[in-house]
Amino acid sequence: MATSPKFPRRLLAGSGAVILAVSLAACSSGEESSGDDTTDSSTASGDIRVGMIASLVPQFEEYAAVFEESNPDINVTVQAVAESPADYTQQLATENLSGSVPDVLFNTGGLNQTLDANGLLWDMSEWLDEGRSGLDSAEFSPNFLGLFEGEDGRITGLPVSADSGVIVYNIEQFEEYGAELPSEDWTYDEMYDAARTIYEGSGGDVFGIVTPLGVAETPFQWYPVIRAYGSDMYDTNAGEFVFANPAGLEAWTTLLEPYTDDFGVPYSTLANDPGKNLFPSEQAAMEVASTARIAALREQMQSEWDVAAMPVIDGTRTTGGGAYSLSIGEKSENKSAAWEFLAWFYSVDGGLEVAKDDGVIPATTDGIENGTWQQNPPAVPANFVPAVQTSIEDAILQQPYPADVAPEVLPALQEAIQLVMLRDESIESAFTAAQDSLNALLK
């Protein structure tokens, strides 16, 4: 048996920001997997498909090609899946009905609970416990592995990255319009002041910020603000949602401020487009982004730009965290070959060696604390290492909601935002109604 893989000491970018918003319950077949593949790993062969979000397809096509060089009996096809949570949901639902879900699935901490509840993910724990092909759960940071581990011990994903939230900002636009550059301990108010200065100084031609709340699809952007004000989404002790208490309403008011005060990207724009082109196209001067996005921005940005740690509210850093993972589909008929791909990908001389130049941050204790990414970072953005060190240290990882209610949380929040923005309903009324509707589902 191969020894347990050691990870490269480098930071691997991921997409911890994606979360599933719509239930797949109606689409789950309820049938047991026909792919209970127990083939010995040394004889694994055949075809597998890797379902990967479109922005990471080129990287994974490269990884697949290198994998096939040392594993000629396994053919890997990388299939693009949608970036949008709603579109990804629909794609998985359709593929689940037809039995064509990829063998290896893109997954995130936000997606995992719902995907597993609907029978789409295979439990890896038995093969991890035996260290099959050298792949062992002990290598992973418990915080990030825990995003994919259920109370019953099921492990349905292996984290690729230790992702956290940062602010990316256009230095040239800050300087042109007289906004103060971010400091190490800047506040949310200071961030908004800079956004207002840029919007007003440009005569409305440049939005100050891609409004952090967006349409609530990416909790790592807004959940830490709820916590910073002293509230939470769900109180596990009380067994109820609490995000519309006084502290929570204060947080939602802050998050909606770029909309209501007209200095951020408008709600109508983000409701029709995730907004990922606004910052690189210089239509917005700032964006709350995950560390996963840095690698892509290095290729897209033309102006001088940098990255800063998230600002603080009442002394609390508003940094969200998460991870994207690779999972094996429950219905995969070639789990052994899929496992060999994962074992290679997470090994020091395999996929992570190939991926190290993509800005990949291994979600391992050693990789986070001692990674060589700290000694040999890319030149751009200049503040990458200090910002990431702060972000990883302060990252707030959201805990899961009750499984049967989890798919309804984001739609409820999105409806509350719509009521405020499109029907002029008060923040208190809209978010209290959302909270009440979710608590009613718990009874």
* DSSP-derived secondary structure for 269-285: HHHHS--TTTTTTTSBS
Structure confidence by residue, pLDDT tens digits, 35-53: 455 555 567 999 999 999 9
Q: Please give the single-letter amino acid code of residue 370.
A: N
Higher pLDDT, 74 or 349: 74
Q: Which pLDDT belongs to residue 201?
A: 98
> Could you tell me what percent of the chain has a pLDDT over 90?
60
Q: Which pLDDT belongs to residue 245?
A: 98
Q: How far apart are the first and last CA of the chain?
A: 50
Give residue 191's region: left, alpha or beta (phi > 0; psi -120 to 50). Answer: alpha
Report which DSSP code applies to 118.
T
Residue 312: which of 439, 188, 411 has the closest Cα? Answer: 188
Residue written as tokens 């009324």?
A: 429
Could you tell me which residues come within 8 angstroms of residue 218 by beta carbon, excluding any fewer than 6 positions away?
17, 18, 19
Could you tell me which residues come within 8 angstroms of residue 376 by beta carbon, excluding any fewer than 6 positions away?
none
Q: Give the neighbor-by-neighbor strand order of the sheet with 104-108.
A: 74-81, 46-53, 104-108, 324-328, 158-159
Other Cβ atoms closer than 10 A to 38: 7
CA distance 234 to 46: 45
- Look at residue 238 and tell me whether its pLDDT is greater than 90: yes
pLDDT band at 32 (very low <50, low <70, confident <90, very high): very low
CA angle centred on 7, ends 121 and 320, rounded to 5°? 60
Other Cβ atoms closer than 10 A to 424: 7
CA angle centred on 397, ends 392 and 400, rounded to 5°? 160
CA distance 330 to 95: 13
- Look at residue 74 and tell me whether its pLDDT is greater than 60: yes
* pTM for the structure as a whole: 0.77
Q: Which pLDDT belongs to residue 85?
A: 67
pLDDT band at 1 (very low <50, low <70, confident <90, very high): very low
List the single range of 82-86, 98-102, 117-121 with lowest mean pLDDT: 82-86
Other Cβ atoms closer than 10 A to 357: 10
Structure confidence by residue, pLDDT tens digits, 337-350: 999 999 999 887 78
Q: Does an H or E element contain 193, and which?
A: helix 188-201
CA distance 317 to 134: 38
Report which DSSP code applies to 258.
H
CA distance 61 to 68: 11
What is the pLDDT of the chain when averaged over all its residues? 86
pLDDT band at 103 (very low <50, low <70, confident <90, very high): very high
Q: Which pLDDT belongs to residue 17?
A: 35
Q: Which pLDDT belongs to residue 26?
A: 35
C-alpha to C-alpha distances, 392 to 106, 211, 338, 376, nearest whole angstrom: 22, 22, 30, 18
Which pair of tokens denotes residue 348?
A: 């020091």
Structure confidence by residue, pLDDT tens digits, 125-141: 999 999 999 999 988 88
Could you tell me which residues come within 8 angstroms of residue 189 by beta carbon, excluding any fewer than 6 positions away?
none
pLDDT band at 4 (very low <50, low <70, confident <90, very high): very low
**Can you name the residues that pair with 105 across neighbouring β-strands?**
51, 327
Sign of CA dihedral 88, 91, 96, 102: negative
Residue 338: which of 55, 54, 104, 99 has the closest Cα? Answer: 104
Q: How many CA atoms lie within 13 A of 106 on its CB side?
A: 27
